[in-house]
């Protein structure tokens, strides 16, 4: 028998992986885009990045 | 005096705060515990009653005497990226890293001890009651009969997880869901189940508390929507005022929990009452800041970069 709550689980919608569009720059201690701008200057990318949104318990941190 | 940021390199929400610290001229070291050892290093000496420790990552170093504050954002598991890692190496590294950081006088956002306690939902609910919030009647049980009786008593109840979704591949989500009338509660015996009276809401409220500063955001709900984190409602997050009847319990909760940062979720009912749903001690703030323009990252940076309190 599966736990009651698990009967309400649903497939996690695949979110667009935007992490490939920026890379960590150890000198700046920030992520940068391919043109050298900080990743945080790209609002659309930030909104798409799973790390900025609340997802009811990510796979790594459940207290989002 | 240096700020230590414990998070993964890919964490762009942390970037918002790092950029603010740069602007303020506050030195920082960004380190992912997963990179220890190999990609980062540590050393601590306890000699003749004195204590010194050092951490270095990618060419930067901070010593315990120069450590101003520690921000625990999205750190990886200690030693996760180390060559030949193992559960034992992870445990050894966690002991070394957190043990030495606990020995410093740095301020924490949030201290892992308080963070661990605050993650327990049953404890949160008790503290929320003590703090003066309106909290929906809630049950946590492994008795199917008790669950059925609770659902019958309150009519409409929701089920939510205590610890987030199960870690599966492919991943699954476990949104807060309305329990249909006539539901069979037999599965309650197979795992502790959290049921809560359904609050018919007209909006979701996300209140982020940084030190003593409060940032509330409001998003109107779609008709019949249960979990505001799922489904596009066509509404956006907008800045909201914080009524005094909410500000006081928030500060009380933060004091009782020993937290410097937390993101609270409320449901606003038709009368405008904010019902406490949960407190996320490490809750995301990037989406609120991007949509509302509220300067949350700046508030985090200001707290982390504040001068240490004068010692008597």
Per-residue pLDDT of chain B (312 residues; tens, 9 = 90+): 999 999 999 899 999 999 999 999 999 999 999 999 999 999 999 998 888 999 999 989 999 999 999 999 999 999 999 999 999 999 999 999 999 999 999 999 999 999 999 999 999 999 999 999 999 999 999 999 999 999 999 999 999 999 888 888 888 888 899 999 999 999 999 999 999 999 999 999 999 999 999 999 999 988 777 777 666 667 889 999 999 999 999 999 999 999 999 999 999 999 999 999 999 999 999 989 999 999 999 999 999 999 876 665
What residues in A contact B30, CB-CB < 8 Å? 29
- Tell me, yes or no, whether B28 and B95 share the same domain: yes
Give A12→chain B minimum CA distance, Å: 4
Calpha distance B78→B68 (Å, rounded): 22
Domain housing B69: 2-109
Calpha distance B44→B96 (Å, rounded): 8
Beta-carbon separation of B189 and A1 below 8 A: yes
Beta-carbon separation of B284 and A53 below 8 A: yes
Q: Which two tokens stand for residue A22?
A: 């920026």
- Tell me, yes or no, whether B165 and B226 share the same domain: no
Beta-carbon separation of A13 and B173 below 8 A: yes
Calpha distance B75→B280 (Å, rounded): 16
What residues in A contact B15, CB-CB < 8 Å? 30-31, 38-40
Beta-carbon separation of A52 and B188 below 8 A: no
Phi, psi of B162 (to 5 degrees): -85, -30
The C-alpha torsion from B195 through B197 and B198 to B202, rounded to 10°, is -130
Beta-carbon separation of B290 and A47 below 8 A: yes
What residues in B contact A5, CB-CB < 8 Å? 159-161, 174, 191, 193-194
- Tell me, yes or no, whether B180 and B231 share the same domain: no
Residues B117 and B103: beta-carbon distance below 8 Å = no
Please tell me whether residue B53 adopts helix, strand or coil conformation: strand
Output the pTM of the full model: 0.92
- Tell me, yes or no, whether B208 and B227 share the same domain: yes
- What is the interface pTM, i.e. ipTM, of the complex? 0.85
Burial class (CB in 10 A: 0-12, 13-18, 19+), B271: exposed
- Tell me, yes or no, whether B189 and B211 share the same domain: no
CATH number for the domain harbouring residue B211: 3.30.470.20
- Tell me, yes or no, whether B88 and B152 share the same domain: no
Give strand pairing partners of B3.
B28, B69
- Tell me, yes or no, whether B240 and B192 share the same domain: no
Give A35→chain B minimum CA distance, Å: 17
Residue that is last in its domain, among B197, B223, B247: B197
Beta-carbon separation of A3 and B191 below 8 A: yes
Beta-carbon separation of A11 and B188 below 8 A: no
Domain count, chain B: 3
Mutate to test the interface with A, among B15, B186, B266 (most CBs of A within 10 A): B15
In a domain, B127, yes or no: no
Residues B276 and B266: beta-carbon distance below 8 Å = yes
- Tell me, yes or no, whether B183 and B233 share the same domain: no
């Amino acid at each position: 028998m599966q736990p009651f709550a698990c009967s309400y689980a649903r497939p996690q919608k695949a979110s667009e992986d935007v992490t490939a569009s920026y890379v960590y720059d150890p000198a700046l201690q920030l992520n940068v885009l391919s043109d050298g701008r900080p990743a945080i200057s790209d609002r659309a990318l930030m909104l798409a990045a799973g790390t900025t949104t609340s997802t009811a318990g990510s796979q790594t941190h459940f207290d989002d | 005096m240096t700020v230590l940021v414990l998070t993964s390199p890919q964490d762009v929400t942390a970037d918002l705060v790092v950029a603010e610290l740069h602007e303020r001229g506050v030195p920082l070291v960004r380190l992912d515990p997963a990179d220890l050892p190999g990609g980062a290093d540590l050393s601590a000496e306890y000699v003749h009653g004195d204590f010194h420790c050092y951490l270095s990552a990618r060419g930067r170093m901070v010593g315990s005497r120069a450590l101003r504050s520690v921000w625990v954002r999205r750190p990886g598991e200690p030693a996760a990226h180390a060559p030949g890692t193992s559960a034992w190496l992870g445990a050894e590294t966690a002991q070394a890293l957190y043990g030495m950081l606990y020995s410093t006088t740095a301020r924490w956002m949030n201290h892992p001890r308080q963070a661990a306690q605050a993650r327990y939902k049953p404890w949160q609910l008790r503290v929320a009651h003590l703090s003066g919030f309106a909290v929906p009647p809630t049950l946590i049980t492994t008795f199917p009969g008790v669950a059925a009786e609770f659902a019958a008593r309150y009519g409409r109840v929701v089920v939510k997880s205590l610890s987030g979704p199960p870690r599966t591949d492919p991943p699954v989500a476990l949104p807060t869901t309305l329990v249909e009338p006539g539901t069979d509660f037999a599965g309650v015996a197979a795992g502790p189940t959290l049921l809560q009276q359904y609050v018919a809401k007209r909006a979701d409220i996300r209140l982020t508390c940084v030190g003593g500063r409060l940032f509330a955001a409001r998003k109107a709900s779609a008709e019949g929507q249960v979990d505001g984190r799922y489904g596009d409602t066509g509404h956006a997050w907008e800045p909201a005022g914080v009524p005094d009847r909410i500000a006081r319990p928030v500060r009380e909760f933060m004091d009782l929990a020993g937290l410097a940062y937390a993101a609270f979720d409320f449901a606003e009912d038709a009368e405008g009452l904010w019902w406490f749903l949960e407190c996320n001690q490490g809750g995301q703030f990037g989406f609120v800041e991007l949509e509302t323009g509220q300067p949350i990252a700046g508030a985090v940076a200001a707290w982390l970069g504040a001068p240490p309190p004068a010692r008597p």
